[in-house]
Amino acid sequence: MLTLSIENLVVRVPDLQQPVLVIDRLDVAAGQHLAVTGGSGSGKSTLLNILSGLERVREGRVLWNASDIAPLSESGRDRWRARNVGLVMQDFHLFPGLTALANVLLPARLAGAADAAILARAHDLLARVGLSRPDQRIETMSRGEMQRVAIARALLRRPGVIIADEPTASLDVESGAAVGDLLLEVAAETRSTLIVASHDPRLVERLDRRLSLAAGRIVADNAASEVAA
């Protein structure tokens, strides 16, 4: 379980005068389930990249359990992420040539943590996302099946926070609902904080807190009485 606090965050990109993300203050309690919504280009992926340490914080502070990740080097952020974050990104980062099961297990194997219990959990998670062929090679899978492998991998090591970017985007209604069930069940089981960027109203409405971004700013937050536009 990780608590998040963002203070005075400003994210800029080369070639643009206006920042792409400005968040003066955001607090997310440990174990909270947060949906990040907003139109295309509103800053959702930028926020998730910052929160997961994929992108460096250059202005402001991003504190996880009161520890700021902004000063960490890239390798420091990689280590922090491997220990704490279950990440589901839009482009999955799966490895062709490996089976579904091997992809799910890879981060645990790299960390020297792939024991019998982890192997059993990998099988269980693949079954729960509806994949019955753990030995199928990744490159032969459909996009929706790959999405489910990426989700199983993210949940394997009971991360303190699960961060998912459009986790139901490639899925039909039924598979999307199953993935929503799984994310919520696993987050509850492991008491993980859950942060999901999504356009999918069926998923968004199941999360207890909803934050809406427009042009890189928070314009609605159902947990806040006042929101700066």
Ligand X SMILES: Nc1ncnc2c1ncn2[C@@H]1O[C@H](COP(=O)(O)OP(=O)(O)OP(=O)(O)O)[C@@H](O)[C@H]1O
Interface positions with ligand X (CB under 6 A): 13, 15-16, 20, 38, 40-46
Distance from C-alpha of 9 to C-alpha of 90, rounded to nearest angstrom: 23
Residues listed for the chain: 229
Query: How near is the Cβ of 61 to ligand X at its closest, in Å?
Result: 20
The closest of 199, 194, 192, 193 to 213, measured between CA atoms, is 199
Contact call for residues 86 and 119 (beta carbons, < 8 A): no
Contact between 161 and 17 (Cβ < 8 Å): no
CB of 15 to ligand X, least distance (A): 6
Please answer whether residues 53 and 33 qualify as being in contact, where contact means their C-beta atoms are separated by less than 8 angstroms: no
Task: Give the nearer residue to ligand X in terms of CB position, either 15 or 226.
Answer: 15
Indicate the residue among 89 and 182 with the shorter CB distance to ligand X: 89
Residue 16 or 66 with smaller CB distance to ligand X: 16
CB of 172 to ligand X, least distance (A): 20
Angle between helices 143-155 and 173-190 (to 10 degrees): 10
Q: In angstroms, what is the minimal distance from the CB of 10 to ligand X? A: 13
**Nearest CB to ligand X, comparing residues 122 and 150:** 150
